Structure 1
Amino acid sequence: MNRIGSILQGFAPISLEEMGRVRLMNRTDTKYVTTVPRLVRLLEMAVGEYRVQEIGGLRDMPYYTCYFDTPDRDMFIQHERGRKARQKIRLRVYESSGTAFLEIKDKDNRGRTDKKRVPASGAGEDIVPYSDFIRAHSRYLPDSLVPQVRNRFYRITLVNRLLIERLTIDTGLRFHNVPTGTGCSLEGLVIIELKRDGNTRSPAGEMLRGLHIPSAGFSKYCMGMALTDRQARQNRLKPRLRMLGRLLCPEQPYGLSFTTVYNNK
């Protein structure tokens, strides 16, 4: 990852305050899944077109997330079954700044996402302090929610010079399943999310196409669950698990099996 840090130093910085000026009124979100070598090439191509968010001298920020669900994992099951209208509840900690939020993300039948959040007190996983917020914005009762999957990663955030496009790049993904105690590391994987105004040209989109990096859905919660719990439903997730295999273990002609991913913690 030293090569990535070196390339990031070539980007002009953008502060957190300036990031507040980014306005995406007709936003579209697209995810991409790739590997570190292709990320290196993407960053080399993007230096002249984008600025990188910098906080306290850091340009590659550590994040911590804890996903909450019911004991029978109803939110995970709704996603795995392909239900379009669904919800996620998570604690997100921005470790470089020490700020944290309890977030509720709703996706409707048209694929639009609405996120509501309230400031949280650090990385504590006690849901009780947020009971009123959860009752106001979720169909799940606070006392029905327990920690299910913890997730850590590093995030690079790029913004184009016109402040109308944002690119988040996540690396070093690690998962820990709270009930099973199982962990999983996807160190070589890169998750990219392109957030842009739907009516504007996207330099990053053109770069991704040029590098033959296709769009692909990737839910950190659902993939983390599938990789760390042998009992979790995974029928709809199998194509994603096979994709991970092709990217991380190309020497295996049929991709990485679930068991192999599960055991390579």
Structure 2
Amino acid sequence: MTAVDLEWSAALPAIGLDELNTFAERLIRVDRKYLVRADDIPEIIASVPGLSVLDVAGARSTQYVSTYFDTPDFESYHRAGRCRRRRYKVRTRRYESGDEFLEVKWKDGRGMTHKVRRPWCSSEPAEEAHSFISQVLAGAGVPCRVKELRPSLRTSYRRSTVLMAEENARATIDFNLVCESPTGHVILDRFAIIESKAGARLTSLDRQLHRHGHRALKMSKYGVGMAATVPGLPPEKWSRTLRLLIGSKNS
């Protein structure tokens, strides 16, 4: 996306991060993800009343860089791709501000997404990170071979965040996605990824996306990025999404 493509955000009222988290921190939530052509974003956003956009020091989008960790046999990838009830994701995330966090996400038996994070520094001993990950996942009842985790994928993209205050819900809009693994890299910039983060009920943004012909699909930056950059890795449940983004690599 270019700066012109972000003109839609200039028309929305601004909110700060504290206000966003007051209304919709949503560390426990239902995530619904949509692939939308970049050119369609302004029309869709304009059709949703009452939106506001996160503004940090005058910027309405920010760069995210995430490093994902997995076992040598890609346990995290395959558990998610085969829809195992108890699955996890471990990553570090660095923000444009320079802040960096270690994050652990998992799905519970009801399909709800949980996330716990803490500040992280790349120079900290691995044992400290392992202890944190083990404690979080053991408490959630999710098995993980923590000591075998290693960097498996790096993603970078820009993100804008919108708030639906009356619904206590938020949504993110990610664009210019780049995925890099030790065996390859791919640029996925034809589409934006819209992800609503709410409760069990559809938000007004979800409903407008449906009216514009979009349906939630199985989308994971980690899943798609791994499938696109690791030769021979089966695309699992992300095969349709992969075809939409770049064409099936296994066809």
Give, as a single letter, the amino acid of the residue that structure 2 aligns with 1:207. Q
- State which of 31, 34, 51 in structure 1 corresponds to 2:33: 31
Distance 1:212 1:125 in 2: 47
When residues 206 and 80 of structure 1 are mapped into structure 2, their CA distance, relative to the original with a 3 A threshold, is closer
When the two structures are aligned, how many residues end up with a matched partner? 244
1:135 and 2:134 aligned:
yes
Aligned to 1:230: 231
Give, as a single letter, the amino acid of the residue that structure 1 aligns with 2:108. D
Aligned to 2:213: 212
* Aligned ranges 1:249-260 → 2 under 5 Å: 256-258=247-249
When residues 111 and 125 of structure 1 are mapped into structure 2, their CA distance, relative to the original with a 3 A threshold, is farther
CA contact (8 A) 1:49 1:203 kept: no
Structure 1, 184-193 or 128-137: larger mean CA deviation = 128-137
Distance 2:153 2:211 in 1: 35
Give, as a single letter, the amino acid of the residue that structure 1 aligns with 2:71. T
CA RMSD of aligned residues (A): 2.4
Distance 2:5 2:117 in 1: 31
Question: 1:128: Cα distance to partner?
Answer: 4.2
Give, as a single letter, the amino acid of the residue that structure 2 aligns with 1:32. Y
TM-score of the superposition, structure 2-length normalised?
0.87
Aligned to 1:221: 222
Structure 1, 112-121 or 132-141: larger mean CA deviation = 132-141
Aligned to 1:250: none
Give, as a single letter, the amino acid of the residue that structure 1 aligns with 2:157. F
TM-score of the superposition, structure 1-length normalised?
0.83
Give, as a single letter, the amino acid of the residue that structure 1 aligns with 2:188. L
**Secondary structure, counterpart of 2:23 in structure 1:** coil
* Aligned ranges 1:97-108 → 2 under 5 Å: 97-108=97-108
**Secondary structure, counterpart of 1:143 in structure 2:** helix
CA contact (8 A) 1:32 1:215 kept: yes
CA contact (8 A) 2:219 2:238 kept: no
Aligned to 1:153: 157
Gaps of 5+ in 1: 246-255, 261-265
CA contact (8 A) 1:154 1:172 kept: yes
Question: 1:84: Cα distance to partner?
Answer: 2.5
The percentage of aligned residue pairs carrying the same residue is 29
Distance 2:60 2:123 in 1: 26
Superimposed CA distance per residue, residues 194-234 of structure 1 (whole angstroms, 9 cap, x where no aligned partner)? 123445x7321232122111111201111100000112122
Superimposed CA distance per residue, residues 162-184 of structure 1 (whole angstroms, 9 cap, x where no aligned partner)? 26121111111100003x1x110
CA contact (8 A) 1:66 1:125 kept: no
CA contact (8 A) 2:175 2:191 kept: yes
Aligned to 1:251: none
Gaps of 5+ in 2: 138-142
Question: 1:243: Cα distance to partner?
Answer: 2.7
Give, as a single letter, the amino acid of the residue that structure 2 aligns with 1:77. H
CA contact (8 A) 2:67 2:155 kept: yes
Aligned to 2:89: 88
Aligned to 2:42: 40
- State which of 185, 188, 198 in structure 2 corresponds to 1:186: 188
Question: 1:25: Cα distance to partner?
Answer: 10
